[in-house]
Structure 1
Amino acid sequence: MTTESRTGPGPRDRFRAQVREEVKAAALRQLADGGPEALSLNAVAKQLGMTGPALYRYFANRDSLLTELVVDAYSALAAALAHAADAPAGDDTERLASVVRAYRAWARTEPHRYRLLFRAPFKGYDAHSDRLVEAAQRAMNVVLNVANAPAAPDTAVPEGARVQVREWMERRGVEDVPPAVASRTMMLWAHLHGLVSLEIEDNFASMGIDPGPLYEAEVGEFTRGL
């Protein structure tokens, strides 16, 4: 007599996964409408025709649900950047420009998810847990790899940042990237984050300025620095 082994998730597991995705989708709609402060498990449960206690079988609490949303957002951002990095776009400088444009495009398309990544959602939430840091690093690694391609190996790390950059690289397992490239990539991300944050909050619109050329100038400045 032979028995067949189950090679995939059973009906119960598939149902649980489906419900979790529906819960996350409802939570994202709340975030889009009112930000993290508006996120309510009871409201999500009501929207899905569930009771509050039933929802807690899928997510232990609001923090647990929020963590899933943050990890998903980092994964989506990393995927968008990786797709831009892999697309044929000429030389290494053009690949980097494509990644920068993808970063901006994702933030403009998903502003509520972008804000979730870079703002403290509410008091008491651990936005620096190992799981979130690892998720964030996957997106950073895409930029590091692309930025490393056109790099000059003798570019110096700015004085005062040398020790911190090296320690950060060791903690995050960043290898095969010169510290100078890592340092410059951090600076690039800081500048882009500032531009993106101003744009999605409509600050440039109120000034009558198109930030697109600013992004392009930032890429040029970055590559010249390398």
Structure 2
Amino acid sequence: MVRLVRVTTPRARARAQTMSDILRIAREHLATGGASALSLRAVARDLGVVSSAVYRYVRSRDELLTLLVVDGYDALGDAVDAALADAVDDPVERLRITARAVHTWALAEPAWYGLLFGTPVPGYTAPAERTVIPGTRVILTLVRIIAEAHARQLLTRPAVDPPVSSTLSRDFTRIRDEFDMDLPDWALARALTVWCTLFGAVSFDVFDMYGGDTFTDRGQVFELHIAALESLLGA
């Protein structure tokens, strides 16, 4: 068998290292000043080069934000994948592990999480062609876990189906076709609620929306949310 060996030149390695340094410094600025204050000039200053040198790697502030967004989604997705790697073959337990992994990553990277799920950056729109695939990694993981739970008949169908309009039902059909999964409308409606509730609960914690003195043990509060997610799902 002939193996293709990727040859990395010193110049390519140096370029990759510079890009890594740019993104590292940008994440530091994101943590201290927020996304709105992100500046290529400030990144160049901390990198110890003139701003024109940075522009050879990153064309604009928006390009830098996009790189941070993609890296953030991938970092979150990697954290979830790592947490699930050795998890038991139980969809409900895998749902719990996914929720905890999202929560843990978000608390460790609050500024990065804020860029992905917080207040939009004025004047910036993330390009869908670059961000949708990484941005849906965790969502797709959640839906596949829920689909597996449904396939194993672990979900209890509601006594009354949720009010899914014909328009929303068409959306659900498109989602089923796109991700090749077999979930009825009522289960997809629950999956939608679980997704939104999970990230809402995480955001409450990351952005300190409870207030500093309300709860002594935030971890226990999040476990209550996980139990509620299971109830919402009908598991």
Give the shorter-chain TM-score range: 0.7 to 0.9
In 1, are the aligned partners of 2:40 and 2:61 still within 8 Å (CA)?
yes
Q: Deviations over 1:97-119 (max 9, x none)?
A: 11111111011001001000013
Mapped partners of 1:37, 1:94: distance in 2: 38
Q: Give the alignment partner of residue 219 of structure 2, picking from 203, 212, 220.
A: 212
Mapped partners of 2:6, 2:80: distance in 1: 33
Q: Give the alignment partner of residue 182 of structure 1, picking from 183, 188, 193.
A: 188
Mapped partners of 1:35, 1:135: distance in 2: 22
Q: Identify unmatched segments of 5+ residues in structure 2.
A: none
Q: Deviations over 1:137-170 (max 9, x none)?
A: 1221111122222224784763236643652663
In 2, are the aligned partners of 1:95 and 1:146 still within 8 Å (CA)?
yes
In 2, are the aligned partners of 1:107 and 1:200 still within 8 Å (CA)?
yes
TM-score (norm 2): 0.83
Report deviation, 1:51. 0.6
TM-score (norm 1): 0.86
Mapped partners of 1:25, 1:168: distance in 2: 39
Q: Which residue of 1 aligns with 2:117?
A: 118
Poorly superposed stretches of 4+, deviation over 4 Å? none
Mapped partners of 1:108, 1:74: distance in 2: 15
Mapped partners of 1:217, 1:135: distance in 2: 29
Counterpart amino acid of 1:220?
Answer: A
Q: Which residue of 1 aligns with 2:199?
A: 193
Superposition map of 1:31-50 within 5 A: 31-50=30-49
In 2, are the aligned partners of 1:150 and 1:223 still within 8 Å (CA)?
no
Identity of aligned residues (%): 32
In 2, are the aligned partners of 1:100 and 1:219 still within 8 Å (CA)?
yes
Counterpart amino acid of 1:221?
Answer: A
Q: Which residue of 1 aligns with 2:105?
A: 106
Mapped partners of 1:45, 1:98: distance in 2: 39
In 1, are the aligned partners of 2:205 and 2:218 still within 8 Å (CA)?
yes
Mapped partners of 2:138, 2:75: distance in 1: 9
Counterpart amino acid of 1:51?
Answer: V
Residues 212 and 113 of structure 1: CA distance in aligned 2, closer, same or farther (over 3 Å): same
Mapped partners of 1:204, 1:107: distance in 2: 16
* Correspondence 1:86 to 2:91: no
Q: Which residue of 1 aligns with 2:68?
A: 69
Report deviation, 1:83. 1.9
In 2, are the aligned partners of 1:73 and 1:117 still within 8 Å (CA)?
yes
- Structure 1 window deviating more from structure 2 (90-99 vs 111-120): it is 90-99
Secondary structure in structure 1 of the residue aligned to 2:163: coil
Counterpart amino acid of 1:174?
Answer: F
Secondary structure in structure 2 of the residue aligned to 1:113: helix
In 1, are the aligned partners of 2:197 and 2:229 still within 8 Å (CA)?
no
Please report the RMSD computed on the Cα atoms of aligned residues, expressed in angstroms: 2.5
Q: Give the alignment partner of residue 170 of structure 1, picking from 166, 170, 174.
A: 174
Report deviation, 1:189. 2.0
In 2, are the aligned partners of 1:31 and 1:112 still within 8 Å (CA)?
yes
Mapped partners of 1:185, 1:43: distance in 2: 42
Q: Give the alignment partner of residue 162 of structure 2, picking from 140, 158, 161.
A: 158
